[in-house]
A and B are shown apart, each in its own frame.
Chain A
């Protein structure tokens, strides 16, 4: 795991759990992902969070949007291929209605990807975010991660705009083909 050389530091998933908590992001919706496993475990273990699995990323975006309109902050966790299912609902709901949906994407398709489909769909992610003018940051370093995550959430809420944190394999270790 990245950051393992720094035993005293919190691992990335604990940093993100703590940042979500500090920003009162209680609702966690996700489509399961192997790299996100420790984060999913951490939010399920912590009674502060209301965390549950959804059947599609679009569905999670709708739930988080509704919760925000009802006064509860949420986040949608997914992997790259799941993000690729979102452009329509991002454009016609979150961006159009100015709803600050927070997205966290575990990045597949780069830095050692073994699945061609993942590698191709990864190339669509940033162009989609850029074309919708959705703020996004690629998180690569543990020492920067808390700052980037915290400031991204604050800005999303303050400007009523969706935002996306992309978790690079440099931060998480990613997923590699086992020999």
Chain B
């Protein structure tokens, strides 16, 4: 695992759908997953719907805050926020809030393709000077790491699920569009998600 942030260390960007499938295949404890807007949650949906997934249909930048809220409400359930680089850049303060609250059950995964893909692939700041992992560490999230390939991502994710402090994992992904799109039904999505996690959480 990388000790220092090394932006874009992977020569071959990963594919979001392939990585998301790997992530979903590791979910066996009823983990709640909050999918950020756009392609991030489209590929979460495409990887195989789980009732414990919440797909955001707006409110850009709030995947991590929503996940923090779920994590605080249900400390015995593992919660994962999937967010894109453009969305995170819009709400960087949430990283410091997560660091100060230090929930033991929250993992943040940032899919960094360096573009606002859904609006026409305009470059984000991470395409040049900005390093998401360095920002996260500077925000107080000590366990923030770049994953250089799929195997390292899986290892970092597995370690995060065993850790009693928040973790951020960032990975450089390619510019492929999502495989399919989530139905745009916010009330139904919210209701199914709530019912799925109503039990209060798997043993942590």
Determine if B97 and A96 form an interchain contact, defined as CB atoms under 8 angstroms apart.
no
Decide if A159 is an interface residue (CB 8 Å cutoff). no
A: number of interface residues (CB 8 Å): 31
Determine if B187 and A97 form an interchain contact, defined as CB atoms under 8 angstroms apart.
yes
B64-98, CB under 8 A of A: which get 1 and which 0? 11111111111001000000000000010110110
CA gap between A166 and B126 in the complex, in Å = 40
Decide if B133 is an interface residue (CB 8 Å cutoff). no
* Chain A binder among B19-27, B171-179, B188-196: B188-196
CA gap between A56 and B49 in the complex, in Å = 31
Determine if A67 and B72 form an interchain contact, defined as CB atoms under 8 angstroms apart.
yes
Q: Which residues of A contact B96 (CB under 8 A)?
A: 55
CA gap between A71 and B32 in the complex, in Å = 13
Q: Which residues of A contact B62 (CB under 8 A)?
A: 58-59, 61-62, 65, 89, 93
Determine if B68 and A63 form an interchain contact, defined as CB atoms under 8 angstroms apart.
yes
Of the candidates B54, B57, B200, the one whose C-beta lies within 8 Å of that of A71 is B200
Question: Given contacts A71-B198, A88-B58, are A52 and B101 in contact (CB under 8 A)?
Answer: yes
Of the candidates A59, A61, A70, A98, the one whose C-beta lies within 8 Å of that of B93 is A59
Determine if A69 and B58 form an interchain contact, defined as CB atoms under 8 angstroms apart.
no
Determine if A66 and B66 form an interchain contact, defined as CB atoms under 8 angstroms apart.
yes
Q: Which residues of A contact B190 (CB under 8 A)?
A: 69, 97-99
CA gap between A58 and B69 in the complex, in Å = 13
Q: Which residues of B contact A92 (CB under 8 A)?
A: 57-59
Q: Which residues of B contact A69 (CB under 8 A)?
A: 54, 66, 69-70, 73, 190, 193-194, 197
Of the candidates A52, A58, A61, A96, the one whose C-beta lies within 8 Å of that of B100 is A52
Q: Which residues of A contact B97 (CB under 8 A)?
A: 52, 54-55, 59, 63
Decide if A102 is an interface residue (CB 8 Å cutoff). no
Determine if B73 and A55 form an interchain contact, defined as CB atoms under 8 angstroms apart.
no
CA gap between A71 and B193 in the complex, in Å = 11
Decide if A174 is an interface residue (CB 8 Å cutoff). no
A67-101, CB under 8 A of B: which get 1 and which 0? 11111101000000000000011011100111100
Determine if A55 and B186 form an interchain contact, defined as CB atoms under 8 angstroms apart.
no
CA gap between A102 and B54 in the complex, in Å = 21
Decide if B35 is an interface residue (CB 8 Å cutoff). no
Determine if B94 and A55 form an interchain contact, defined as CB atoms under 8 angstroms apart.
yes
Q: Which residues of A contact B65 (CB under 8 A)?
A: 54, 58-63, 66
B76, chain A: closest CB distance, angstroms: 11
CA gap between A74 and B72 in the complex, in Å = 11
Determine if B93 and A91 form an interchain contact, defined as CB atoms under 8 angstroms apart.
no
Decide if A64 is an interface residue (CB 8 Å cutoff). yes
Q: Which residues of A contact B197 (CB under 8 A)?
A: 69-71
B199, chain A: closest CB distance, angstroms: 9
| 13 additional A-B residue pairs with CB within 8 Å, beyond A66-B68, A72-B72 | A27-B73, A54-B93, A55-B93, A55-B97, A56-B91, A56-B93, A65-B62, A66-B69, A67-B69, A92-B57, A93-B58, A93-B66, A96-B187
Closest 4 CB pairs of A and B: A92-B58, A66-B69, A55-B93, A70-B73
Residues of B within 8 A of A (CB): 32, 34, 54, 56-62, 64-74, 77, 91, 93-94, 96-97, 100-101, 186-187, 189-190, 193-194, 197-198, 200
